[in-house]
Amino acid sequence: MAELVRLCSRGDMQPSSARRFDVGGHRLALVRVGDDFYAIGDTCSHEDYSLSEGTVFDEECEIECWKHGSTFDLHTGRPCSLPATKPVPVYQVKVEGDDVLVELP
């Protein structure tokens, strides 16, 4: 059964930004694109670097690993460019009122 965990308030993050959260044994990158929020695993699948420190590409709905330039689709977690070839986990995000919540397995 999935557990719903509050990460932050909507206003805690600006559009086109990412932030790292460590919750329930999961290291997440919460990404805001416009008014939408996405949660993916924070560790690049190519090497152990934090995705939340990378650049958010709003138009493509992707985040770039700051170290080697791989980009990841925020909907699927799949890499969109090399050198990464493996996807990162994706988590369901819900916004209830002002609260941004994530479903953890």
- For 30-68, the pLDDT digits (tens) are 999 999 999 999 999 999 999 999 999 999 999 999 999
pTM of the model: 0.96
Token pair listed for 13? 């993050």
Q: Delineate the domains of the chain, giving CATH numbers in brackets.
A: 3-104 (2.102.10.10)
| Mean pLDDT value across residues 83-93 | 98
E-strand ranges in the chain read 3-9, 17-23, 26-33, 36-41, 56-57, 62-64, 71-73, 90-91, 93-96, 99-104
- Measured in whole angstroms, the distance separating CA 93 from the mean position of its chain's CA atoms is 10
Peptide bond connecting 15 to the previous residue in cis, omega within 30 degrees of 0: no
